[in-house]
Amino acid sequence: MRGRDFVTQAAAISGHCLCGAVDVDVARLGDGMSACHCDMCRRWTGAAFVAVHARGHDVTLNGPVKTRQTSEWAERGWCDACGSTLFYRVKHDGSYGLSAGLFDDAAGRSLTQEYYVDKKPEGWAFAGDHKRMDTGETLAFFGVSEGDQP
């Protein structure tokens, strides 16, 4: 992913949606976890979208997965049986932000960055020392222009 340096675990990890109809297998998972506060993610999840990260070729999804392109540069996926949020996928490199809730203990990851912090509701705050990016910084991180933002 443009702007992202993947440092990954060697061991594979598996997870699933709420009803178990979709299984997610990841060969290698990025070290950190992110939270996105953009308008679309908040409407999609009811809060910030909290995700763990993987390269596209490391992810296998089995089951009734549905997708929708939600911007020029990304699509979102969900379980068609129970509606669970599954992923956010960046189209230019195929990398995934997989819903942290798919994996026990959020796959053991700690929050390392937040996107669109200037769009989060005033009363929301994640604790800890991690990178916090506003809209401009987020768009630069993903290598997209302001007209393409979610």
Q: Which of 120, 113, 121 has its CA nearest to residue 141? A: 113
- Domain enclosing residue 95, as ranges: 13-143
Total structural domains within the chain: 1
- Is position 4 within any domain? no
Cα distance between residue 32 and residue 36, in whole Å: 13
Cα distance between residue 85 and residue 49, in whole Å: 9
Predicted TM-score (pTM) of the model is 0.88
In DSSP terms, 75 is beta-bridged to 69, 89
- Is position 23 within any domain? yes
- Is position 77 within any domain? yes
- Is position 124 within any domain? yes
Cβ 82 vs Cβ 2: under 8 Å:
no
Q: What is the pLDDT of residues 139-148, one digit of tens each?
A: 998 887 665 5
- What pLDDT is stored for residue 32 in this prediction? 92
Cβ-proximal residues to 112 (8 Å cutoff; 6+ apart), any chain: 31, 32, 33, 34, 130, 131
- Is position 148 within any domain? no
- What pLDDT is stored for residue 81 in this prediction? 98
* Residue segments in the chain with a per-residue pLDDT below the cut of 70: 1-11, 145-150
Give strand ranges (E) for 27-99.
Answer: 32-36, 49-54, 59-62, 65-71, 74-79, 85-90, 96-99
Cα distance between residue 103 and residue 17, in whole Å: 9
- Is position 81 within any domain? yes
Q: What is the DSSP letter of 32?
A: E
Tracing tokens 């979102």 back to the chain, one arrives at: 76
- Is position 150 within any domain? no
- What pLDDT is stored for residue 8 in this prediction? 57
- Is position 2 within any domain? no
The CATH number linked to 119 is 2.170.150.70
